Structure 1
Amino acid sequence: MLRQLNDERTIRRLGVTRRQLLEDIDRPALKSLPIEPYEFAQWKTCRVGVDYHVEVSSHYYSVPHRFARAEVEARLTVRTVEIFLRGERVAAHLRMSGNHGHTTVADHMPSSHRRYKNWTMDKIRADAGRIGPATAALCEQIIEHRPHPEQGFRACLGIVRLAKSYGEARVEAAAERAIAIGARTYSSVKSILDKKLDRRPAEQRAAEAPVIVHANIRGPRYYN
């Protein structure tokens, strides 16, 4: 019945069968199916940091260092992150989880960090030092504990800029608390300020905590 409808029955107003229309009009216009299945992608506009990394879904991906501070577009799929500048792809990475970590391609780094590093490090140290010694010390720790010092620039610059919103005294107190608890990220310092934890005394360290006295706790004589 279906074959009869398509191959034998003529469309009156056109004078041809559906099969003839398919062969004469539709089939020549058909293209072959793509080799790979369709993959859904999202696009996001980003700005490259001074550390030549782009933040995408709470993870940092490198681009060639010459594109630092440029506005780029990131294409996100389930498996990959691609970075485009004016329509040209400049970087591609496997997509990582949002752990605020860094994915850095060695070829994206400058051949020599010396001039770039000294200028940036000196500026960070000077700006952090103007806020206070704790802020300067925290920035030093952040930079020292990163695989590449430049990966800590973004966090340090963010901490320094918090002084515009919260004041230098509060940022300095927050830095002291961050050092005490071993927090070395911008988000940690921001959280301390948002929760006003900088206005509370630092928590007593576990080693200095008083010994709990309880009837169920056995003293040294029990084992002698």
Structure 2
Amino acid sequence: TRRQLFEELDRPALRPLPVERYVFAEWRIRRAGLDYHVEIERHYYSVPYRFAREQVEARITANTIEIFHKGERIAAHRRSSGNGKHTTIPDHMPSAHRRFADWTIERIQREASSIGPEVALLCEKILADRPHPEQGFRACMGIIRLNKSFGRDRVNAACSRALEIGARTYGSVRSILDNHLDRAASTNGPASHEPIHHENIRGPRYYH
């Protein structure tokens, strides 16, 4: 009978069920960026900084993200929604970056706004220009700290001048202050920063 065959053949070969239930996982090949983060579903997960620019494999489940390099697991994260933000483990950072771990985009925006609208606008543009906003943290923090040496009015005027000439680095703002070019900007009133309209500029409608 079927029962006899099961007892004689199948049952001796059976093994216990796994302790953990099977979890469906999807594998994808990725390359870590210069900021040692890997993009998965519009979210960025850190790996140890020494693996920056290295090709890695990501094991993706409903709840976790595991990242492997040549078969070795180098990072594990709880999966986050695709919100364009970063999940960073402090131990993955090079020592120079760990000093900035308590800074966030929101804190930079708050500190910049407390100095003046031009500082806030310049920092916003610096962060927007970077593939990952964290890459602009150093420049924004340097600009914010210029307030201690030069005062709120001069830093705000210098940022206005930087916006006028399209300079979006800490070094440019510092140079404006060192050469007193911020005083020329302050006499001309706040910059309008309005978009430029010209017949040679296609504009957004050209691409729709």
**Normalising by structure 2, what TM-score?**
0.49
**Normalising by structure 1, what TM-score?**
0.46
Larger Rg: 1
